[in-house]
Amino acid sequence: MKEKIRKLAKEKNAIILAHNYQPPEIQDIADLCGDSLELSIKAAKTDADIIVFCGVHFMAETAYILSPGKSVLLPRTDAGCPMADMVSPESLQKKLAALGKMPVVTYVNSPASVKALSDICCTSANAVEVADRIPENEILMVPDRNLAQYTASRSAKKIHLWEGYCPVHECLRPEDIRKARDAHPNAPVLAHPECRPETLEAADVIASTSGMIRYAQESEKKEFIIGTETGLLYPLRKACPDKQFYPASEKTECPDMKKISLEDVYSSLENMTGLVRVPENIRLPALRAVERMIEK
Ligand code: 13P
Ligand code: SF4
């Protein structure tokens, strides 16, 4: 199946992008694996005719926003992100009416229709830098309250939170970190900014998924406790075969990130199913917010 997919991708001039949380066999057939920021940048630059996005819906949507001339395929259209569904254009407009007008910084884990109402997007890799770039002192960050709190702790901005969260990272607690440290006392703890503030406090390093891979590669340490979705263990072990990685908890598995199989990838590419599109009246304002994030 892996060979069949690679052959078909070549014939159709398709590029396969996979998020770092995707199952190992999907990462193995991808042209590029990465965090949300790296995948957005790649989607904006590729000259392929087709982008097969192995991730969740908002990622494929972002790829389409950046590359409307290409066919963007999500091999399983039911792969969504519960956090992205915690904000809608209506609820955002209501909040802005109550708070007063202010710049909106929207995490890429959000619907295109919410990006369209935003000033700029961010990912977990650049949230602090994006917040600092905004001239105003007060901003609203949606939809992840944990990422917003983390950003507020590193930035001078007054940040208003949105009560959204990732159910996968939310379940990682300081007790899990303590237990993992007891079992592996020499291993630093790396945690994702989608974790709760008390969990981040218990960690040594806070980084995006690719940021964790880079940290492990550059560190002199030989073992690490990983506080994020367990799919990241595969690319970590691949990047650092001589180092040990332990999940901070086995509970942190995202069911949506595990939906796509090799068969789904093949059939979507062969039959051009799972096309993701965004209407132009939403795409254009959403594009402005995503482009502002990418261009420095
Ligand atoms: P990053 O890979 O950008 O850190 O994102 C994590 C995530 O939860 C994506 O859904
Ligand atoms: Fe959404 Fe969390 Fe799954 Fe990422 S890990 S796709 S934020 S539910």
Among 85, 87, 106, 168, say which to mutate for ligand 2: greatest number of ligand atoms within 8 Å of CB.
Answer: 168
Ligand 1 close to Cβ of residue 110 (< 6 A)? no
**Ligand 1 center to 36 CA (angstroms):** 6
Residue with tokens 């390093």: 205
Q: Grade residue 296 by pLDDT with cuts at 50, 70 and 90.
A: low
**For residues 99-120, average pLDDT:** 97
Residue with tokens 């995503």: 290
pLDDT tens-digit profile of 125-141?
Answer: 999 999 999 999 999 99
Ligand 2 close to Cβ of residue 257 (< 6 A)? yes
pLDDT at 5 over 80: yes
**Helical H runs in the chain?**
2-11, 24-29, 36-45, 57-66, 89-99, 112-115, 127-133, 145-154, 167-170, 174-183, 197-201, 209-218, 233-239, 262-271, 280-294
Sorted by sequence, the CB contacts under 8 Å of residue 221 that are 6+ apart come out as: 186, 187, 188, 243
Among 22, 36, 62, 169, say which to mutate for ligand 2: greatest number of ligand atoms within 8 Å of CB.
Answer: 169
Ligand 1 close to Cβ of residue 36 (< 6 A)? yes
Residue nearest to atom 4 of ligand 1 (CA): 208
**Ligand 1 center to 256 CA (angstroms):** 12
pLDDT tens-digit profile of 149-166?
Answer: 999 999 999 999 999 999
Residue nearest to atom 5 of ligand 2 (CA): 254
- β partners of residue 138: 158
Residue pair 114/142 in contact by the 8 Å Cβ criterion: yes
Sorted by sequence, the CB contacts under 8 Å of residue 116 that are 6+ apart come out as: 89, 282, 283, 284, 285, 286, 289
Q: Grade residue 222 by pLDDT with cuts at 50, 70 and 90.
A: very high
Residue pair 114/65 in contact by the 8 Å Cβ criterion: no
Q: Which ligand is nearest to the CA of 143?
A: 2
Ligand 2 close to Cβ of residue 125 (< 6 A)? no
Distance CA 71, CA 55 (A): 16
Residue nearest to atom 7 of ligand 2 (CA): 166
Give the chain's domains with CATH numbers: 2-80+257-277 (3.40.50.10800), 84-165 (3.40.50.10800), 172-251 (3.40.50.10800)
- Per-residue confidence (pLDDT) for residue 281, from 0 to 100: 98
pLDDT tens-digit profile of 227-238?
Answer: 999 999 999 999
Residue 93 CA from chain centroid, whole number: 24
Q: Grade residue 295 by pLDDT with cuts at 50, 70 and 90.
A: confident
- β partners of residue 14: 50
Q: Which residue has the higher pLDDT, 47 or 278?
A: 278
DSSP helix/strand/coil, 253: coil
Residue pair 226/248 in contact by the 8 Å Cβ criterion: yes
**For residues 263-281, average pLDDT:** 98
Q: What's the token pair of residue 226?
A: 């990983």
pLDDT tens-digit profile of 39-98?
Answer: 888 888 899 999 999 999 999 999 999 999 999 999 999 999 999 999 999 999 999 999
Round the average pLDDT of the chain to a whole number and report it: 97
Rounded to two decimals, the pTM is: 0.95
